[in-house]
Amino acid sequence: MALMPVDDALAAVLAGAHGLETEMVALEDAHSRVLARDLTALRTQPPQPMSAMDGYAVRAADVAAPPVTLRVIGEIAAGRPATTGIAAGETLRIFTGGVVPDGADAVVIQEDTVRDGDRVTVNEAVRPGRHIRPAGIDFSEGEVLLRHGHRLSDRDLALAAGMNHPALPVHRRPRLAMLATGDELVMPGATPAPGQIVYSNGYALRALARAEGAEVIDLGIAADTLDATRAAIRQARDLDVDLLVTTGGASAGDHDLVKDALEAEGTAIAFWKIAMRPGKPMMHGRLGALRVIGLPGNPVSSYVCAVLFMVPLIRALSGRSQAKHVPEPALLGADIGANDQRQDYLRANLARDGEGRQIATPVDSQDSSLLARMAAAEALIVRPPFAPAAQAGSGCLILKLPS
Ligand SMILES: Nc1nc2c(c(=O)[nH]1)N[C@H]1C(S)=C(S)[C@@H](COP(=O)(O)OP(=O)(O)OC[C@H]3O[C@@H](n4cnc5c(N)ncnc54)[C@H](O)[C@@H]3O)O[C@H]1N2
Ligand code: MOO
């Protein structure tokens, strides 16, 4: 099979991937969930004109030539509107959040007044509208303020509450099973025998998937046999998850069994091998309704492929309107050589130059096994196939990595 261009591979991974079923969740539990419908304000905010300050509700015309003494005819606290309005020469004591009474068109702050019993002397003029928040200045009933496909931020929850929604319609979280392969892997904390290494990939991948909103089930490490790999794939299928992500066993060696095992279980492989570095041996397919992403085993390759393919797929299944990454412009911090036929994703550090422009400098080694360089990197510089050599200071595109 020929190497597939990255964009074609992403299109294959995202084909038919849409937001999963809609469920209602309490507002308290809706952070980071994705709205399944447009959200309309159920009320107008503020519902009536309200005072922005503690002071006196006045007719601006009455206090145009201060000092002016007015008669205080009552008091308005937040939540307790006045039963009467004010006439010429009158005022109502008002507090922040109090409903502005009929007849008043401004609020004088208390610092500009002197109170004496039921009289108050106003020492500063105010223009009409001063310190009054008009009804609907925030939003009006019927207004769509949050859109379908939007991932809810902390501020969005406050807005939805203000719109008077106690619960929100969101897409179900994608369910993802993760399977590692490799007889050489031992768990962190164990003492590796000669030739063994510590399992690391899954920790980054599961955290990444969860941060994007997936529910993750860890299927552990399958032994490097066809039977064990097939059994683990069946387990994922029977768990009724939306997505199976495997790591390792993706390339061409005698112990790389993932593709054979997937096919033996009936998976239709959409592609195997992409024109990218790192991550060439990545594969993708479908086992019935189950989507499968087969990541390479090298830690950097698995992570970069997960960022580029697993993340957009989780976003699409979560119903997010923006599933694909949008690269940002930056300037190169070092000279880089010409690229070959594989789209390159160089691990890079970010800095700002004196004019505030973003500078991306590749880390000193791009080997796809290097965990320390990957952890230190803040972005990927995207180098298209056959890009010519480029000098420090020239433009490039980057994808920021999660912090
Ligand atoms: N003849 C060829 N050899 C290789 C090719 C090729 O095209 N032809 N591709 C190379 C590329 S590129 C990559 S990337 C790797 C991918 O290999 P696999 O997906 O088969 O992965 P493994 O062989 O299982 O492991 C590679 C490497 O990564 C370590 N590993 C695996 N899983 C984990 C884990 N969960 N945590 C930490 N480290 C892990 C594993 O021990 C190996 O060192 O293939 C090249 N070879
Ligand atoms: O693609 Mo592999 O990821 O070059 O090491």
Give the CATH number, domain containing residue 36: 3.90.105.10
In a domain, 323, yes or no: no
Best of 208, 219, 251, 303 for a ligand 1 pocket test (most atoms within 8 Å of beta carbon): 251
**Are 123 and 15 part of one and the same domain?**
no
156 shares a domain with 113: no
Ligand nearest to C-alpha 305? 2
Does residue 81 belong to any structural domain of this protein?
yes
Give 203's pLDDT tier (boundaries 50, 70, 90): very high
Is 247 a residue whose pLDDT tops 70?
yes
The model's pLDDT over 299-322, given as tens digits with 9 standing for 90+, comes to 999 999 999 999 999 999 999 999
- Cα–Cα distance for residue pair 295/283, rounded to 1 Å: 7
pLDDT tens digits along 58-82: 999 999 999 999 999 999 998 999 9
**Residue 269: exposed, middle, or buried by beta-carbon count in 10 A (0-12, 13-18, 19+)?**
middle
CATH number, domain with residue 211: 3.40.980.10
**Are 11 and 114 contained in the same domain?**
no
Q: How many angstroms does the Cα of residue 298 sit away from the middle of ligand 2?
A: 7
Output the CA 367–ligand 2 centroid distance in Å: 8
d(CA 14, CA 311): 11
Among candidate residues 317, 351, 384, the one where a domain is terminated: 317
Interface ipTM = 0.97
What average pLDDT does range 150-161 have in this prediction?
98
Tokens of 261: 């095992």
| Same domain, yes or no: 221 and 311 | yes
Residue 172 pLDDT > 60: yes
Give the model's pLDDT for residue 174.
98
Residue with tokens 């503020």: 46
**259 and 344, same domain (yes or no):** no
Q: What is the CATH number of the domain that holds 117?
A: 2.170.190.11
- Tens digits of residue pLDDT in 392-401: 999 999 999 9
CB contact at 8 A, 383 and 346:
yes
Q: Which residues of 308-345 are buried (b: 16+ CB within 10 A; e: fewer)?
A: bbbbbbbbbbbbbeebebeeeebbbbeebeebeebbbb
Span from the CA of 332 to the centroid of ligand 2 (angstroms): 23
Same domain for 335 and 282: no
For residue 372, the domain's CATH number is 2.40.340.10
Residues having CB closer than 6 A to ligand 1 are 180, 182, 184-185, 197, 199-202, 247-253, 256, 278, 280-281, 296-299, 301, 368
Ligand 2 proximal residues by C-beta, below 6 Å? 277-280, 296, 298, 301, 368
Q: Which of 257, 291, 317 is the last residue of a domain?
A: 317
Q: What is the Å distance from ligand 2's center to 399 Cα?
A: 18
Domain count of the fold of the chain: 4
| Atom number of ligand 2 nearest to Cα 276 | 1
Q: Which domain holds residue 197?
A: 6-20+172-317
386 and 306 co-located in one domain: no
Among the listed residues 73, 68, 77, the one whose alpha carbon sits nearest the alpha carbon of residue 85: 73
Distance CA 311, CA 353 (A): 30
Residue 117 in domain:
yes
Residue 253: per-residue pLDDT: 77
322 part of a folded domain: no
Q: Are residues 28 and 148 in the same domain?
A: yes
Which tens digits make up the pLDDT trace of 5-64?
999 999 999 999 999 999 999 999 999 999 999 999 999 999 999 999 999 999 999 999
**Same-domain status, 73 and 201:** no
Q: Encoding tokens for residue 253?
A: 């060696």
Q: What is the DSSP letter of 279?
A: -
Torsion sign, CA atoms 349, 381, 294, 205: positive
Tokens at residue 262, please? 């997937």
Residue 185 and residue 110 share a domain: no
Compute, in angstroms, the gap from residue 81 CA to the centroid of ligand 2: 69
Dump pLDDT digits (tens) for 336-369: 999 999 999 999 999 999 999 999 999 999 999 9
Shared domain for 350 and 390, answered yes or no, is yes
Question: pLDDT tens digits for 254-310?
Answer: 778 999 999 999 999 999 999 999 999 999 999 999 999 999 999 999 999 999 999
Residues 199 and 285 in one domain: yes
In a domain? residue 216: yes
The answer to whether position 161 is within a domain reads yes
Tell me, what's the pLDDT at 117? 97
**What would the two tokens of residue 200 be?**
């690391």
Q: Is the pLDDT of residue 1 over 60?
A: no
In-domain check, residue 106: yes
Distance 280 CA to ligand 2 centre (A): 5
